[in-house]
Amino acid sequence: MTNISNHSFTISHLKVLVTGAAGFIGSNLCEILLEKGAKVVGLDNLSTGNKKNLNICFQHNNFHFIEGDIRNIQDCLTAVRNIDIVLHQAALGSVPRSINDPITTNDVNIGGFLNMLEASRREGVDRFIYAASSSTYGDSESLPKEENKIGNPLSPYAITKYVNELYAANYKKTYNLDTIGLRYFNVFGRKQTPEGAYAAVIPKFVMQLMNYESPTINGDGSFSRDFTYIDNVILMNLLAMTTEDPKALNQIYNTACGANTSLNELVSYLKEGLSVFDPKIENVKVTYGTERKGDVPHSLAAIEKAKQYLNYHPEYNVREGLKEAIKWYWVNLK
């Protein structure tokens, strides 16, 4: 399980709702919460999540799963009953998906988000922590990305995630519901699926390389991302859940490593890591395609604010995270 080595979290007294529980990030959060003694309710409509991601969770007496949809307010109200803290991960991810189907992305990411906020308010939830997105920085060219400097959003997905932040701030001002938004930067790691049209780049490339297929990089490979290993994201959620500093609440935090990696470098690291298991992978060629609509050229997070308010220090840099992820992929995808 996760190596949250330098921290002790006392959460056994808490009842936590994780939305999007059967997804990549949600299921990892459920596991660590249960491991640390919390009672956990998972909500998911299984449209993109998979119940098998929760196999370990179903072995715990403290876990309860609800198959429901955040677009249905009644499902949200049922899920938040007697909950102390909400970790809202449910969303339709992917910039290309939002460009192809902006209506559904809006319904889930804004309508569903508002339902969850409203249900949390009505049921008296103590704290609402939600997955925000680095896509909110849009066309802002300043690097590193600082929380208070954003540009114009470049996709329907980015718009939905920005609106979430506006609603969260409004619910504090209007209803006094404490919230924390975590702007995730290109999260990767165990249980992230390589399947489907909108698969994330790392599991997709890993699967292709294991099959000796050429991964296709959109553009010339110079675009860079702040790739963030799942355990750093888990750590941020735990810190957001347990902080007792009032100044740390009702804030937005970058959730990242604070270092960027180009796509060319990424493929090089993946080949290096996979070649430990199969030396022939080193010889797989890369192909280059056209740039994707809505893609931001470079993404690099400033993490000083998270360090200051939450005492966040990433446990894994990108290469350490990739080593852990590759081990998991080799066992589970091969």
Q: What is the mean pLDDT of each run of 10 residues along the chain (334 residues)?
A: 65 97 98 97 96 97 98 98 98 91 98 98 98 94 94 95 98 98 97 84 95 93 95 98 98 97 96 96 94 80 98 96 96 84
* Residue among 314, 318, 321 nearest 6 (CA): 314
pLDDT number for residue 35: 95
Phi, psi of 319 (to 5 degrees): -70, -40
Q: What is the pTM of this model?
A: 0.95
- Looking up tokens 């957001």 gives 240
Measured CA to CA, the distance from residue 34 to residue 62 in angstroms comes to: 7
CB 162 within 8 A of CB 113: no
Angle, CA of 280, 264 and 316, to the nearest 5°: 90
What CA–CA distance (Å, rounded) separates 205 from 22?
23
pLDDT, tens digit, 9 for 90 and up, residues 93-148 = 888 899 999 999 999 999 999 999 999 999 999 999 999 999 999 989 899 999 99
Helix axes 201-210, 318-333, angle to 10 degrees: 50
List pLDDT tens digits, range 172-194.
999 999 999 999 999 999 999 88
Q: How far is the C-alpha of 79 from the C-alpha of 163, rounded, in Å?
A: 23
| Active-site annotation holds for 212 | no
From 130, 157, 167, 312, active-site residue: 157
Neighbours of 310 (CB within 10 A): 23
Q: Write the DSSP symbol of residue 44.
A: E
Query: Which domains can be identified in the chain, with CATH numbers?
Result: 15-188+229-257+301-316 (3.40.50.720)
